[in-house]
Structure 1
């Protein structure tokens, strides 16, 4: 219960500087899909963060193919790699939110190019996250469900997202 209340406090406490660091796309999609922008951005950071000038950001041209994370310099390069990977496996996570193709490729109409569209990817990830929270009937369990089915892995994932939420609150 303490962990749940802590998560609620992180998500809904007044924000001074941290929200300004979240790119506008996250705010727009979060409002559209009914999930907190801070949570959406924190999940994206855990899923696809990459160092950039001045810090780190979720990287839209990220793939995870059968457990191997790959970062590409452009959408075109990521798309070529995604099409090639999908010719051999459906164990591929795509984009900012690392949406898992095997279970969620339908959210993009089966179109790899659409999966790499940052807004489409954020929407799909937000939908998966919202559905997990509703299915688990718990914010914490829902966050864990986004990435893992086993309780141990889900707890580790929740801890990572919580760390990112705290860093946002502290302006880092």
Structure 2
């Protein structure tokens, strides 16, 4: 999911970037955690708590971030961000029994076209990552 949420081109290839924000639908990649933190706080001030997604797994501050983190900048810790996302994703998997479906719910719990598009993006990334090495099936849900 991080490769879908915060993937960016680096000199060594495409990788998730920990200091990524999405503010009102526009992605921003920062060189440092400090820069990303300042921009996240400004984005929340300007656009409200639901207008900013933070970090590797793009934790929306208003919907989920504030429940996992004491401060918006805490969501920029790569390990904490991944841990929060993995707990959310696991909850969705436990109810759906399918990782791709769970990813769609992670992105858009209400479902619909945004979740469908996200599932397709995650499925494509999984196929790229796994090639022939994965031991689990990648669903077409």
Fold-level match, TM-score > 0.5?
yes
Q: Quote the offset at 1:140 in angstroms.
A: 3.0
- The alpha-carbon deviation at position 137 of structure 1 amounts to 4.3
- In structure 2, the residue matched to 1:127 is 87
Alignment of 1:49-60 (within 5 A): 49-60=7-18
CA RMSD of aligned residues (A): 1.6
Deviation, 1:86, is 1.6
The answer as to 2:27 corresponding to 1:69 is yes
Rounded to whole Å, the distance in 1 between the matches of 2:87 and 2:63 is: 13
Higher relative contact order (CA 8 A, sep 6+): 1
2:29 and 2:61 map into 1 onto residues whose CA distance is 17
SS in 1 for 2:3: helix
Q: Deviation string for 1:83-118 (max 9, x for gaps)?
A: 111223112110000011111112012x12211111
TM-score (structure 1 length as normaliser): 0.69
Match of 1:101 in 2: 61
Structure 2: distance between partners of 1:156 and 1:119: 27
In structure 1, list runs of 5 or more residues that go unmatched. 1-42
Unmatched runs of 5 consecutive residues or more in structure 2: 133-141
Q: Which residue of 1 aligns with 2:136?
A: none
Out of 137, 151, 154, the position equivalent to 2:112 is 151
Q: Distance in 2 between matches of 1:47 and 1:164?
A: 11
CA distance in 2: counterparts of 1:57 and 1:140, whole angstroms: 20
Q: Work out which of the residue numbers 141, 159, 164 in structure 1 matches 2:101.
A: 141
User: Please, what TM-score do these two structures have when normalized by structure 2?
Assistant: 0.83
Number of equivalences: 128
Q: Which whole-Å CA distance do the structure 2 matches of 1:166 and 1:102 have between them?
A: 31
Answer yes or no: is the 8 Å Cα contact 2:61–2:72 preserved in 1.
Answer: no
2: distance between equivalents of 1:164 and 1:106?
28
Cross-structure match for 1:92: 52
